[in-house]
């Protein structure tokens, strides 16, 4: 094997790990990074197909709950269990619940404390992707996000119920696919993805690929629209804030009724990265450049309210000084939900991130940072105008980068392994 390049070696490992023919696709932001790919493939391939009998993985009181009938299951947000919907459940009404559960197959977005699953922006991409995959593969969509704490305290199902009672999954064949950092795995190959319950960790945005490949399975509202609109519509279809979050929103937004306000709302997300508050993060924007942002924000009507979502305490202090009573923020704990997931405050930080994004997505003017969290906030904004990006130099109009890679536009690599030919498609 000495004559192989690093890439070829990686492809060979891939051949060993998979059973021969494999197509991968990458989300638009990813470069092919052999090491990350290799790690992910260890999980996609047979080596990583662990059986997960604990199901909920963490504390999440699955044992206590499993003895209760579905309707009495207590959760952080009791209202959740009353929301019964799902396009599917209507067609299943004919079958008794008991029988349908035996036939039902599941595709579950997984984010637990065992492995990293990215910040909120990464998670949002993964959720939308796994939901569309569940439609493509005709599986019941579910979500298990228990890190840094259970998402059910903050978000609840809107039009599709993604809370699967743990007892429905007991004794079903289960597999976990870890696809963090690579595109969403394709499940349709024979003999490899037959399990009743497939749980996926992913942070990729495969929405456009999936909707192109499975147009018939996609809901009407995602047909023929941009990536941003697909994201927004699917997200709103799946999620609505819990009462707890709605209450906090009211408190924190300084009595600004987000849906009925008299003043213009001008907002910015400013991700500074590595700092005293966030020692584990990467450096993002040099904090000495924030005056430029303040100058830009001053150019709007001086009756407008100013909201800043930031990962840095100094930014808040400076904004308060600059804009006085016009300024507000969530005042919440600043943590990166994935990089500091072990810390005590991570759960509070998780909540702050969710509230920040809800406010950002409802602003009249939005200045984003180069971060996935910001980009998703922009995508959730109804009006895709008045969006700017500030990366430390100048504030510029935001034009989403489109490195379009169609499913038809792939790179085909063939490897002769002596006894068989391996073909790999990389998008």
Ligand X SMILES: *[C@@H]1O[C@H](CO)[C@@H](O)[C@H](O)[C@H]1NC(C)=O
Q: Using the rule CB under 6 A, is 159 a contact of ligand X?
A: yes
Pull the structure tokens for residue 411: 């790179």
- Whose structure tokens read 């206590």? 64
Q: Which stretch binds ligand X (CB under 6 A): 74-82, 232-240, 304-312, 314-322?
A: 232-240
Q: Which stretch binds ligand X (CB under 6 A): 9-17, 333-341, 349-357, 371-379?
A: 371-379
Measured CA to CA, the distance from residue 343 to residue 385 in angstroms comes to 37
Q: Using the rule CB under 6 A, is 13 a contact of ligand X?
A: no
Measured CA to CA, the distance from residue 229 to residue 226 in angstroms comes to 5
For 252-375, list the strands marked E by DSSP.
Answer: 265-270, 305-310, 327-328, 365-368
Measured CA to CA, the distance from residue 348 to residue 365 in angstroms comes to 27
Give the DSSP H or E segment for 315: helix 313-323
We find the least distance from the C-beta atom of residue 177 to ligand X, in angstroms, to be 17
Q: Using the rule CB under 6 A, is 400 a contact of ligand X?
A: no
Q: Which stretch binds ligand X (CB under 6 A): 246-254, 312-320, 369-377, 406-414?
A: 369-377
Q: Using the rule CB under 6 A, is 372 a contact of ligand X?
A: yes
Q: Using the rule CB under 6 A, is 58 a contact of ligand X?
A: yes
If the CB atoms of residues 45 and 181 are measured against ligand X, the closer one turns out to be 181
Q: Using the rule CB under 6 A, is 275 a contact of ligand X?
A: no
Where do the H-state alpha helices sit in 51-142?
62-66, 87-92, 97-103, 120-136
We find the least distance from the C-beta atom of residue 375 to ligand X, in angstroms, to be 6
Where do the H-state alpha helices sit in 69-216?
87-92, 97-103, 120-136, 207-213
Q: Using the rule CB under 6 A, is 370 a contact of ligand X?
A: yes
Q: Using the rule CB under 6 A, is 72 a contact of ligand X?
A: no
Nearest to 175 by CA among 233, 239, 108: 108
Residue 278: CB atoms within 10 Å: 21
Letters for 107-136 (x = contact with ligand X by CB under 6 A, - = none) are: -----------x---x--------------
If the CB atoms of residues 4 and 298 are measured against ligand X, the closer one turns out to be 298
Residues of the shown chain interacting with ligand X in the complex, contacts defined by CB under 6 A: 29, 58-59, 98, 103-104, 118, 122, 138, 158-159, 170-171, 189-190, 203, 236-237, 240, 260, 262, 283, 286, 288, 301-302, 370-372, 375
């Amino acid at each position: 094997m000495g004559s192989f390049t690093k890439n070829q070696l990686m492809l060979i490992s891939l051949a060993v790990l998979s059973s021969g023919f494999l197509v991968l696709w990458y989300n638009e932001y990813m470069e092919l990074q052999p090491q990350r790919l290799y790690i992910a493939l260890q999980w996609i391939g047979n080596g990583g197909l662990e059986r997960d009998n604990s199901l909920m993985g963490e504390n999440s009181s699955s044992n206590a709950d499993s003895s209760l009938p579905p309707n009495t299951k207590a959760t952080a947000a009791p209202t959740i269990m009353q929301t019964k919907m799902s396009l599917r459940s209507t067609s299943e009404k004919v079958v008794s619940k008991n029988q349908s559960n035996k036939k039902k197959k599941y595709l579950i977005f997984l984010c637990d404390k065992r492995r990293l699953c990215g910040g909120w922006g990464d998670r949002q991409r993964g959720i939308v992707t796994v939901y569309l995959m569940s439609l493509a593969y005709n599986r019941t969509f579910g979500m298990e996000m228990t890190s840094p704490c259970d998402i059910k305290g903050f978000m609840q199902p809107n039009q599709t119920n993604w809370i699967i009672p743990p007892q429905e999954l007991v004794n079903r064949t289960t597999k976990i696919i870890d696809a963090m950092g690579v595109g969403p795995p394709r499940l349709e190959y024979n003999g490899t993805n037959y399990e009743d319950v497939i749980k996926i960790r992913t942070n990729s945005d495969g929405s456009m690929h999936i909707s192109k490949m499975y147009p018939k399975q996609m809901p009407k509202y995602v047909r023929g629209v941009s990536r941003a609109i697909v994201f927004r519509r699917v997200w709103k279809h799946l999620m609505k804030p819990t009462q707890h979050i709605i209450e906090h929103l009211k408190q924190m937004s300084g009595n600004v009724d987000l849906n009925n306000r008299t003043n213009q709302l001008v907002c910015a997300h400013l991700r500074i990265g590595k700092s005293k508050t966030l020692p584990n993060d990467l450096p993002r924007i040099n904090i000495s450049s924030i005056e430029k942002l303040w100058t830009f924000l001053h150019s709007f009507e001086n009756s407008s309210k100013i909201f800043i979502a930031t990962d840095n305490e100094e930014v808040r202090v400076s904004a308060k000084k600059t804009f006085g009573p016009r300024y507000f923020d969530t005042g919440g704990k600043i943590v990166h939900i994935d990089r500091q997931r072990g810390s005590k405050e991570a759960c509070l930080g998780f909540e702050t991130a969710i509230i920040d994004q809800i406010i950002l997505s409802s602003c009249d003017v939005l200045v984003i940072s180069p971060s996935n969290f910001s980009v998703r906030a922009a995508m959730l904004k109804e009006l895709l105008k008045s969006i700017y990006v500030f990366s430390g130099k100048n504030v510029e109009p935001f034009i989403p980068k489109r490195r379009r890679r169609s499913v038809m536009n792939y790179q085909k690599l063939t490897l002769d392994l002596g006894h068989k030919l391996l073909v790999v498609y990389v998008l």
